[in-house]
């Protein structure tokens, strides 16, 4: 038996907006195709027999978008322990076609794939904070250049998604 400890450090990205929590979560759920994904994704994956089936099934649900909804974990129970805590939910989103570009390079990247996005209502409902771990900081724990490049590409895609759903400009509400 052997044991290895591999140190790595992560980066927590935080975006803050005056957009209300309910609007941010509605935009995020629309952007990651929650209704269609909830109904279709897992049956699609169970039926998949090849990487082509995975790619086609994904495209059938999200088109040319980058992310699909997998699940969400509401943490509103924290209010029992700290009254006044706003709404809190963790979304698990991803894209298997993007994920495989990292997982084939280092299977340990799977530990943090798919990405999670924490959406927190600010005190007194004064807006929303969105947090996530920077993919390139937590996926690329080796010196693998291909893995690092794929994770950095995901960094940009995830940031673009979050900027879109928290935008304070009126046109972003038509996700």
> pLDDT tens-digit profile of 81-105?
999 889 999 999 999 999 999 999 9
Q: For residue 141, what pLDDT is reported?
A: 79
Q: For residue 7, what pLDDT is reported?
A: 84
Domain ranges of the chain: 12-168
- How much is the pTM? 0.92
Q: For residue 171, what pLDDT is reported?
A: 62
Contacts of 2 (CB under 8 A, 6+ apart): none
**Per-residue pLDDT for the chain (175 aa), expressed as one digit of tens each?**
999 998 888 999 999 999 999 999 999 999 999 999 999 999 999 999 999 999 999 999 999 999 999 999 999 999 999 998 899 999 999 999 999 999 999 999 999 999 999 999 998 889 999 999 999 999 877 889 999 999 999 999 999 999 999 999 866 545 5
Q: Classify 12-168 by CATH class.
A: alpha beta
Residue 39, exposed/middle/buried by CB under 10 A (0-12, 13-18, 19+)?
exposed
How far is Cα 25 from Cα 115, in angstroms, rounded to an integer?
16
Contacts of 59 (CB under 8 A, 6+ apart): none
Contacts of 134 (CB under 8 A, 6+ apart): 10, 11, 12, 13, 155
Q: What is the distance, to the nearest Å, from the Cα of residue 40 to the centroid of all Cα atoms in its chain? A: 18
Q: For residue 122, what pLDDT is reported?
A: 95
Q: For residue 36, what pLDDT is reported?
A: 96
């Amino acid at each position: 038996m052997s044991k290895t400890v591999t140190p790595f450090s992560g980066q927590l990205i935080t975006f803050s907006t005056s957009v209300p929590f309910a609007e941010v979560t509605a935009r995020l759920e629309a952007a990651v195709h929650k209704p269609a994904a909830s109904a279709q994704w897992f049956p699609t994956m169970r039926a998949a027999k090849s990487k082509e089936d995975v790619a086609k099934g994904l495209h059938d649900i999200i088109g040319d978008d980058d992310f699909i909804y997998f699940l969400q974990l509401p943490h509103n129970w924290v209010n029992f322990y700290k009254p006044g805590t706003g709404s809190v939910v963790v979304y698990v989103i991803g894209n298997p076609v993007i994920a495989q570009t990292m997982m084939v390079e280092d299977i340990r990247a799977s530990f943090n794939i798919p990405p999670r996005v924490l959406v927190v209502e600010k005190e007194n409902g004064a807006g929303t904070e969105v947090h996530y771990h920077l993919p390139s900081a937590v996926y690329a724990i080796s010196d693998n250049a291909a893995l690092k490049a794929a994770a950095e590409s995901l960094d940009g895609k995830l940031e673009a998604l979050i900027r879109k759903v928290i935008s304070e400009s009126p046109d972003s509400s038509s996700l």
